[in-house]
């Protein structure tokens, strides 16, 4: 299975941390975000992974390369295993022109096979890896129609997502009739937001070539998929599992805390630390409520 991982975004919301370091290399607990994404691809059956990079992204390539200076360090076991289970290739997006443009950079590499797409800044934690869930659906639905993962999003988040609408043909499977990239709440055709995991037919490449820049002046994958509807069916599926979008600092911090709390090595220590830290403000408040000197009236 071929999988494309767009990882060319500028990471402006993480500046200055991402001035010379890719946002995909920010760690969550003990690994950079992109390693979780590659793990999900490999665990879903990928043997050919194309990462779409850009300027200042060389650290991503170095991460998946063998480093003689670290040798066979125990902590690198999982990483080495990934590169033996899948070939990892890179292509550079010349300018950051949007997710659709990044996926279009993969056209020559992917050729005529259906392929997975996972975003380089989103971690999915699912008992059955999410891309495998999508691939299984793709096969069950006849192997000719693209499948995108969706989740119900709250009203306040609708304009952050590509939104799909259609007919629910079986529990959790929607035959898509329309897609809109980041609509205003009033224009949203549903509350089903595209989560950023896709299993696509190669027909999308022709649509991408015909898609003009859309929302934010960028070539949007959502717009290309809407064009694809003229030629092929498209399905949206809900999934079992949890998605961690690491799009800004707070989400990154929250994800780190959640992962650390669940980690057998760090969980208990972190809980004790947080309890101590969170206990302090009430202590401070107590002190300010009982000043040592009486307050004089003017
Ligand atoms: C991209 C897609 C959008 C999707 C989102 C999921 O937007 O364009 O359709 O809902 O990923 O995270 P971005 O978050 O890159 O702006």
Q: Is residue 53 part of a domain?
A: yes
Q: Is it the case that residue 241 has pLDDT exceeding 60?
A: yes
**pLDDT at residue 56 in the model:** 84
**pLDDT at residue 280 in the model:** 61
Q: Is residue 293 part of a domain?
A: no
Q: What is the share, in percent, of the chain residues with pLDDT greater than 90?
A: 81
What is the rounded average pLDDT of the residues 96-112?
Answer: 96
d(CA 90, CA 22): 14
Ligand 1 atom nearest residue 181's Cα: 9
**pLDDT at residue 281 in the model:** 55
- Give per-residue pLDDT as tens, 186-238: 999 999 999 999 999 999 999 999 999 999 999 999 999 999 999 999 999 99
Reported pTM: 0.91
Ligand 1 atom nearest residue 221's Cα: 8
CATH number at residue 178: 3.90.550.10
**pLDDT at residue 9 in the model:** 85
With contact defined as beta carbons under 8 Å apart, do 194 and 161 qualify?
yes
pLDDT greater at residue 56 or residue 172:
172
3-class DSSP state of 155? helix
Positive or negative, the CA dihedral 161, 167, 168, 173 is negative
162-170 and 115-118: which strand pairing?
unpaired
Q: Does any ligand 1 atom lie closer than 6 A to the CB of residue 225?
A: no
In degrees rounded to 5, what are phi and psi of residue 10?
-80, -20
Q: Is residue 117 part of a domain?
A: yes
Ligand 1 atom nearest residue 196's Cα: 6
Residue reference for tokens 């879903």: 44
Q: Is residue 279 part of a domain?
A: no
In degrees rounded to 5, what are phi and psi of residue 283?
-65, -40
Q: Is residue 184 part of a domain?
A: yes
Domain hosting 101: range is 2-247
Q: Is residue 29 part of a domain?
A: yes
**pLDDT at residue 295 in the model:** 44
Q: Is residue 283 part of a domain?
A: no
Q: CA gyration radius for the chain?
A: 22
Å from CA of 195 to ligand 1 middle: 7
**How much is the mean pLDDT over the chain?**
91
What is the rounded average pLDDT of the residues 11-22?
Answer: 91
Task: Name the domain count of the chain.
Answer: 1
Q: Is residue 91 part of a domain?
A: yes
**pLDDT at residue 279 in the model:** 85
**pLDDT at residue 290 in the model:** 45
Q: Which secondary-structure segment (H or E) carries 200? A: strand 192-200
Ligand 1 atom nearest residue 122's Cα: 12
- Give per-residue pLDDT as tens, 28-72: 999 999 999 999 999 999 999 999 999 889 999 999 988 777 777
With contact defined as beta carbons under 8 Å apart, do 216 and 188 qualify?
no
- For a pocket test of ligand 1, which of 160, 188, 245, 248 has the largest count of ligand atoms closer than 8 A to its C-beta? 160
- Comparing 8-17, 166-175, 198-207, 250-259, the range with the smallest average pLDDT is 8-17
Å from CA of 270 to ligand 1 middle: 32
2-6 and 115-118: which strand pairing?
parallel
Output the CA–CA distances (angstroms, integers) from residue 167 to 142, 144, 196, 199, in the order listed: 18, 18, 21, 19
Q: What are the residues whose beta carbons fall under 8 Å from the beta carbon of 156, sequence distance 6 or more?
A: none
């Amino acid at each position: 299975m071929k999988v494309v991982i767009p990882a060319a975004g500028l990471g402006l919301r993480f500046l200055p941390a991402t001035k010379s370091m890719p946002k995909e290399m920010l760690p969550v607990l003990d690994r950079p975000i992109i390693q979780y994404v590659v793990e999900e691809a490999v665990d879903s059956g990928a043997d050919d992974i194309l990462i779409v990079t850009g300027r200042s992204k060389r650290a991503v390539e170095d991460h998946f390369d063998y480093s003689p200076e670290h040798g066979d360090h125990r902590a690198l076991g999982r990483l080495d295993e990934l590169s033996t289970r899948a070939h990892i290739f890179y292509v550079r997006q010349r300018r950051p022109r949007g997710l659709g443009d990044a996926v279009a950079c993969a056209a020559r590499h992917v050729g005529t096979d259906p392929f997975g797409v996972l975003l380089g800044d989103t971690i999915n934690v699912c008992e059955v890896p999410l891309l495998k869930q999508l691939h299984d659906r793709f096969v069950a639905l006849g192997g000719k129609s693209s499948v995108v993962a969706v989740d119900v999003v709250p009203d306040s988040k609708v304009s952050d997502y590509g939104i799909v609408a259609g007919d629910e043909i079986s529990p959790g499977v929607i035959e898509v009739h329309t897609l809109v990239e980041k609509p205003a709440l009033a224009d949203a055709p549903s509350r089903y937001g595209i989560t950023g995991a896709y299993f696509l037919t190669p027909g999308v490449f022709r649509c991408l070539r015909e898609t003009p820049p859309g929302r934010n002046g960028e070539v949007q994958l959502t717009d290309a998929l809407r064009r694809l509807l003229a030629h092929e069916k498209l399905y949206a599926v809900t999934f079992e599992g949890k998605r961690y979008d690491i799009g800004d600092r707070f989400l990154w911090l929250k994800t780190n805390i959640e992962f650390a709390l669940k980690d057998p090595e760090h969980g208990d220590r972190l809980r004790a630390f947080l309890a101590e830290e969170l206990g302090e403000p009430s202590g401070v408040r107590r002190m300010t409520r009982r000043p040592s000197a009486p307050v004089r009236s003017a």
